[in-house]
């Protein structure tokens, strides 16, 4: 199946700093990528839909100026958590699907665990 | 917002037993998918069922869909300790590249 990678797998940063998370589709072109956040023992919450070459679409309640998304190429989308605070500590997961697969199956990255101290 | 609800929230069974997990959703859908997540890891796609399908099988997995009740069930037969994980249903209203709406998840523990 298709492979989606994320980098880094975990990161610890100090409050007030910014952190960038990368999501890459390794063997397919991803015109659309999705960014989720997952708190411990909870489900995935969609944060935004990232579209290659255009602005991301954010879900209600997600601050677009705090969670900057850039999808500059067909294989890379980045999520930057700006001025991170402890409440931003979470597990961030991206997903995408091969546009030509026709299966509607999404492939998820392994996730990035962010801890803000 | 999350629209799916799974039940039970947690399930503990003995190895070899069957595990049944249920999911409900609120809007019309194009398809419904089940995913598995091991602790602290990404999600793995298990099975997809389209809105015009009622039942689907894949190995030890059997999923059903009742669009009139807006519900789905996932059955894992002959469970193994390695099946211990969290399971999520995710509904999709649109086609390709449309977003998934995840349920709250079910934690399955299979005792050896």
How far B105 CA sits from the closest chain A CA (Å)? 6
Rg (CA), chain A: 14
Portion of chain A with pLDDT greater than 70, in percent: 95
Mean pLDDT of A45-74: 93
**Which two tokens mark A40?**
């411990």
CB contact under 8 A, A104 and B48: yes
Specify the pLDDT at position A49.
93
**Which residues in chain B touch residue A34, judged by CB atoms under 8 angstroms apart?**
99-100
Q: Which residues of A touch B45 (CB under 8 A)?
A: 1, 105-108
Helix (H, G, I), strand (E, B) or coil at B112: coil
pLDDT score recorded for residue A75: 92
The pLDDT score that the predictor gives to residue A30 is 87
**Closest-CA distance of chain A to residue B66, Å:** 20
Q: Is A55 helix (H, G, I), strand (E, B) or coil?
A: coil
- The token pair at B6 is 């799974």
Q: Enter the DSSP assignment of B45.
A: E
Average pLDDT, chain B: 91
Distant-in-sequence, close-in-space partners of B52: CB < 8 Å, separation ≥ 6: none
Cβ B6 vs Cβ B25: under 8 Å: no
pLDDT at residue A82, as a whole number:
97
Average pLDDT over residues A56-62: 95
Phi-psi region of A20 (alpha: psi -120 to 50; beta: other; left: phi over 0): beta
């Amino acid at each position: 199946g298709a492979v989606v990678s994320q980098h880094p797998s975990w990161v610890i940063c100090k409050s007030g700093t910014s952190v960038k998370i990368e999501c890459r589709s390794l063997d397919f072109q991803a015109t659309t990528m999705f960014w989720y956040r997952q708190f411990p023992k909870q489900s995935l919450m969609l944060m935004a839909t990232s579209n290659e070459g255009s602005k991301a679409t954010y879900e209600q309640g997600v601050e677009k100026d705090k969670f900057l998304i850039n999808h500059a190429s067909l294989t890379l989308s980045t999520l930057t958590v700006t001025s991170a605070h402890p409440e931003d500590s979470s597990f961030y997961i991206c997903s995408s699907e091969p546009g030509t697969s026709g299966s509607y199956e999404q492939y998820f990255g392994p996730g990035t665990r962010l801890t803000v101290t | 917002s999350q629209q799916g609800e799974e039940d039970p929230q947690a399930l503990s069974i003995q190895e070899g037993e069957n595990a049944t997990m249920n999911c409900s959703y609120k809007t019309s859908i194009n398809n419904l998918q089940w995913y598995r997540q091991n602790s602290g890891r990404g999600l793995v796609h298990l099975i997809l069922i389209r809105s015009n399908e009622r039942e689907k099988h894949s190995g030890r997995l059997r999923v059903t869909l009742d669009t009139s009740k807006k519900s789905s069930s996932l059955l894992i037969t002959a469970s193994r300790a390695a099946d211990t994980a969290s399971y999520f249903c995710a509904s999709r209203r649109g086609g390709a590249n449309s977003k998934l709406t995840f349920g709250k998840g079910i934690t399955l523990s299979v005792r050896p």
